[in-house]
Amino acid sequence: MIKNDLFLKALKGETVERPPVWMMRQAGRYLPDFMKLKEKYDFFTRCRTPELATEITVMPIHQIGTDAAILFSDILVIPQAMNIEVEMKPGVGPWLPNPIRTAKDVNNVIVPDIEETLGYVMDAIKMTKQELNNEVPLIGFAGSPWTILCYAVQGQGSKNFDKAKKFCFTNPVAAHQLLQKITDTTIAYLKAKVAAGVDAVQIFDSWGGMLSPVDYQEFSWKYIQQIIDALKDEIPVIAFGKGCWFALHEMANSGASALGVDWTLSARNARYLSGGKITLQGNFDPSRLYSPPAEIKRMVTQMINEFGKDSYIVNLGHGILPDIPVENAKAFVDAVKEYKAN
């Protein structure tokens, strides 16, 4: 039995004394101990070495006291397993030297054997579960098929993913073939994570908001729905679409246990658009963690009051930024732990 099961209770919509709290990218660059490991090992070495991934995953549990751990990994291990080369370039971020631009390129993409290509992730999960010793739940994750396609076609990060959109709109048959291959791989990957011991999974649709509501349904949501359908009976699924407020109604009726929302949406509108029944997660502006700790605590308390303490998971509206002071991240977590309902 997990000792601190607040996160799992919130996913079920159960009544809690206070909401649980964790932060996207919490196992990352704002922690000094992480930076020491970063100097020694390159990015994908950290992802592929179970001992390092475990150490990084557990860091924020011990150092800032979140109510859930999220496995240190990256959404781009999926395209790597699918025969798409991915590098992490300093100062650039993800870099794919041979982006997918044609139907022939799509044909060269494989749906891999997960244990063979991503077994190191399962090893890290098993090791992390041992290290956590049932203190808090462990979250596994994957990128949405659309978000993976964005990187695979664009070849790097982008403000508008124009090449990815052009590929979808000029070559829809090949685009849907690629999206389906990514979806099939992601389902197998997340099922392997469940078998390895994660307690919940989150799907990150970081670039869903780049699409119009109509295109979102065609090129993103229907693939996320396949993933939710494949997993929802086995494990709680959180769907997070950045900038996808327009799809909250469909998302709320998808079988997902919770929906992540970003900071551009008020609590009131998030509850309204999602129908008011599903657990919501979010949505503190990550840049607001630059505010003084006392101000952070005041704003977090206000945010919980607006969302309500039940059917709610406190989080940021996207990942924590690398230069946030650790004391500010701690103030965010402490504000939730000190919360008393009025």
Q: Where are the domains of the chain?
A: 6-337
Q: Is 223 annotated as contributing to ligand binding?
A: no
Q: Is 30 annotated as contributing to ligand binding?
A: no
Q: Is 287 annotated as contributing to ligand binding?
A: no
Q: Is 113 annotated as contributing to ligand binding?
A: no
Query: What count of residues does the chain have?
Result: 342
Q: Is 312 annotated as contributing to ligand binding?
A: no
CA pseudo-torsion sign 264, 267, 268, 273: positive
φ, ψ at 180 (rounded to 5°): -70, -40
CATH fold group of domain 6-337: TIM Barrel (3.20.20)
Q: Is 154 annotated as contributing to ligand binding?
A: no
Vertex 119, ends 114 and 123: CA angle to 5°?
145
Q: Is 206 annotated as contributing to ligand binding?
A: yes
Q: Is 29 annotated as contributing to ligand binding?
A: yes
φ, ψ at 171 (rounded to 5°): -140, 60
Distances (CA, A) of 283 to 128, 229, 265, 270, 320: 27, 25, 8, 10, 12
CA atoms of 132 and 269, how far apart (whole Å): 36
Q: What is the pLDDT of residue 341?
A: 73
Q: What is the pLDDT of residue 340?
A: 87
Structure tokens at 137: 């739940």
Q: What is the pLDDT of residue 103?
A: 96
Q: Is 27 annotated as contributing to ligand binding?
A: yes
Q: What is the pLDDT of residue 342?
A: 64
What is the pairing mode between strands 87-89 and 93-95? antiparallel
pLDDT tens per residue across all 342 residues of the chain: 999 999 999 999 999 999 999 999 999 999 999 999 999 999 999 999 999 999 999 999 999 999 999 999 999 999 999 999 999 988 889 999 999 999 999 999 999 999 999 999 999 999 999 999 999 999 999 999 999 999 999 999 999 999 999 999 999 999 999 999 999 999 999 999 999 999 999 999 999 999 999 999 999 999 999 999 999 999 999 999 999 999 999 999 999 999 999 999 999 999 999 999 999 999 999 999 999 999 999 999 999 999 999 999 999 999 999 999 999 999 999 999 999 876
Quick count: other Cβ atoms within 10 Å of Cβ 17?
A: 10
Q: Which helix (H) or strand (E) holds 36?
A: helix 32-40
Q: Is 226 annotated as contributing to ligand binding?
A: no
Q: Is residue 29 classed exposed, middle or buried when 0-12, 13-18 and 19+ CB atoms within 10 A define those classes?
A: middle
Q: Could you tell me which residues are beta bridge partners of residue 203?
A: 142, 239
DSSP letters, 172-185, are HHHHHHHHHHHHHH
Quick count: other Cβ atoms within 10 Å of Cβ 266?
A: 14
